[in-house]
Amino acid sequence: AQSVTQLGSHVSVSEGALVLLRCNYSSSVPPYLFWYVQYPNQGLQLLLKYTSAATLVKGINGFEAEFKKSETSFHLTKPSAHMSDAAEYFCAVSDSAGGTSYGKLTFGQGTILTVHP
C-alpha cells in the first residue's frame, strides 16, 4: 500500500526566505505524486504533479518539486517566500501507476506554512 510522510507539521519562514516542505513516499510501483495547497476555509488546490516525465516539476505560484527515486522523496520548494504563501500544504500519492486506477490518493498529514514579515 502507498503511504506519504510529511516531515514537520509546522514550518515557519521569513518573507523572502527559501521555502522547503518535505515529503517522503512509500509505493510498490513507480508513483504519481501531487502537492496541494489549502488556504483557510477553502478546499484543496493543485500546485503541481509528477507523472513520470521530468523529475523537476514546476507548479503554480513559483513552487517546484523534485522527484528523487533513490531517496523516495518529493520535496516542495520556493526560492522566496511571500506572505500570501501562508497556508497548509499536502503531499499525496496515487493508488496506482500505469494500471487501471480509481484515482484514489493517499494524503500526508499536512504542513502548515507560516510566513513572517
Minimum distance of other proteins from residue 100's CB (angstroms):
7
Place of cell 514550518: 11
Q: What is the closest distance, in whole angstroms, from the C-beta atom of residue 3 to other proteins in the complex?
A: 12
What does DSSP assign to residue 28?
A: S
Nearest to other proteins of 86, 107 (CB atom):
107
How crowded is the C-beta side of 18, counted as CA atoms within 13 Å? 7
Q: Please report how close the Cβ of residue 81 comes to other proteins at its closest, in angstroms.
A: 23
List phi, psi (to 5°) of 8.
Answer: 95, 110
Residues near other proteins, by CB under 8 A: 9, 32, 34, 36, 41-46, 49, 51-52, 90, 94-105, 107-110
Q: Cell 496515487 identifies what position? A: 94
